[in-house]
Every structure is written in C-alpha cells, then in structure tokens.
Amino acid sequence: MDEGTQGHDPIVVMEDITKRYGEVVALEDVTLELRRNEVLALAGDNGAGKSTLIKCLAGAVRPDDGTIRVDGEVVEMDSPRTAKRLGIETTFQDLAVAGNLTVTQNVFLGRERASGPGGLFGILDKSSMRRRARELLEELEIGVDVEEKVSNLSGGERQLVSISRTLLSDPKIVIMDEPTSALSVEGAERVLDLIDRMQAQGISIILISHNLDHIRRAADRVQILHQGTDAGVLDGATVTQDEIVKRMVAGKPSSEDERHAAVD
C-alpha cells in the first residue's frame, strides 16, 4: 500500500460483467474499478467468481454481458494477446516457471530475442537477454543470479522471477493471482515488498488472495465477491478482517455501513 500515490482516475472499469456456464451463473452484474497506481485486492471464498472475473480482464474468458473500459475506451477483450497489447499482464497461482532453465531463460520464455538484422537469423541473443534480465531484477531489487537455474531457488524467489517476467513488457496493469500462496513467511514478505516497489513505479495492480493479512498489508481498497455477485468495496486502510469475512460469507449488507466504505 503506497499511501498518497494512487488517484481516483480509473484505468480499468469493468461494468455489469455477467458470465454463465450453462445454468451456472459464475458472475452476475459485477462492476470493478481499478484506479491508477493503486493496489486493488479481490477477495472472496472459493467459487465466488474471482478467477472468472480476472480471466475476463486478461482475455482468457469472454463475458456474456457487460462492458470493459481501459483508459476510458471500450475494448473487446477477445484474447490474452489483446490484453497484453493494452498493457495488461497476469501472473497466475501455479508458478509457471521452468525449473530446468536459468532465471534469464525463464524471464524471456516465449519472448526470446534473436540476433542479426531484424532477428532473422534465429540465433538467440543470449548476452542481450542476460543484460536485460539483470537490469530488470536490479530495478525490482530481486537479488538472484540471472544464470542460476530456477530449480535451485526458493519458492519465494521463484515467485519473484515469475512476477518479473510479467514486467518485461513494461505493463500498465498487473493482475496477481495468489502470489503468496504456499510461500514461507519470509517468501511472502518478499513478494509483498515487490508489490510495493511495483506500485512505486506507477503500475496498477489487482491482487487476488485468500490471505486477509496480506490483503490488508498491501491493498488500498478491497473488493469482495460473494457467490458471483458484488459484495462491496472497502477502504484498505481501515477495513478489519471481520468485515471482509462477513461480506465473503453473507454478501453485501442490505444497508451499507459507510464507516469503512471505500471513499469515492
């Protein structure tokens, strides 16, 4: 949480998003607003619709109804490639890193650089990739050797490498799905510190997590989903764990308690 840096100007607005799978309604009229340079946490129990909602923004799932705006423009988020073109990157829970490859190879996995005019010769430009990977890790204060095999890293270090790969394209928005899941206390703290540094660099972040302590530590605002519906948005600076849990279990109260509601 970087107090005082986030603005009220939204960079993403997802309005009235609905997604059905046959007779199952995964999302019903859900609205999400991500403001510039903020960390917005997305909380909810299993099956609440968190993954479906972020997949709609990441271009992996197409909603049945609703509108998505990025930088004020209505967009058709029809594929992950479209999301990337709009400056949206996603790091998923499954730690998609290859243990038998080096840190550099993982950072550039699927985005390898080739040498020669226009990269036409098909020869990997290993020195250029090592140099850029080293620069990226130094900018993020990630202290791992770019030539180390990922299999030799701790769980926390692997997650840092996975996150750093999403920043290779200088995104405006990063979606982080359970980035501290299954990490040690030390590993989780390193990831939370990285989130702070990313926000300080001007990146807007959507953080999905079951860990309410981590949410309260990192988030400027907390949006809660309940059984595919919007259960409200609360101020990360004042919200309590009990308030989050209550909405996760029972949904939005019929009469909103404005005491801790997020400021418009």
Residue 251 identity = G
At 13, list the tokens: 């607005």
Question: 184: which residues sit within 8 A by CB, 6+ positions away?
Answer: 154, 155, 156
Residues of the chain with CATH 3.40.50.300: 1-87+171-183+199-264
For helices 155-166 and 185-200, angle between their N-to-C axes, nearest 10 degrees: 20
1-87+171-183+199-264 to CATH, choices 3.40.50.970, 1.10.10.10, 3.40.50.10490, 3.40.50.300: 3.40.50.300
At 83, list the tokens: 């999301």
Residue 83 identity = A
- The model's pTM is 0.87
CA dihedral defined by 163, 168, 169, 172, rounded to 10 degrees? Answer: 40
Tell me how far CA of residue 150 lies from CA of 129, 169, 180, 199, in angstroms. 16, 21, 18, 26
pLDDT of residue 258: 43
3-state secondary structure 157-174: HHHHHHHHHHHHHCCCEE
Cα–chain center distance at 100: 26
The one-digit pLDDT tens for each residue of the chain (264 residues) are 665 445 578 999 999 999 999 999 999 999 999 999 999 999 999 999 999 999 999 999 999 999 999 999 999 999 999 999 999 999 876 557 888 899 999 999 888 888 766 555 568 889 999 999 999 998 888 899 999 999 999 888 888 898 888 888 899 999 999 988 878 898 889 889 999 999 999 999 999 999 999 999 999 999 999 999 999 999 999 999 999 999 999 999 876 544 445 555
Question: Within 80-239, where are the H helices?
Answer: 80-85, 103-107, 126-139, 155-166, 185-200, 212-218
C-beta separation of 38 from 205 below 8 A: yes
C-beta separation of 66 from 17 below 8 A: yes
Q: How far is 155 from 147, CA to CA, in rounded Å? A: 17
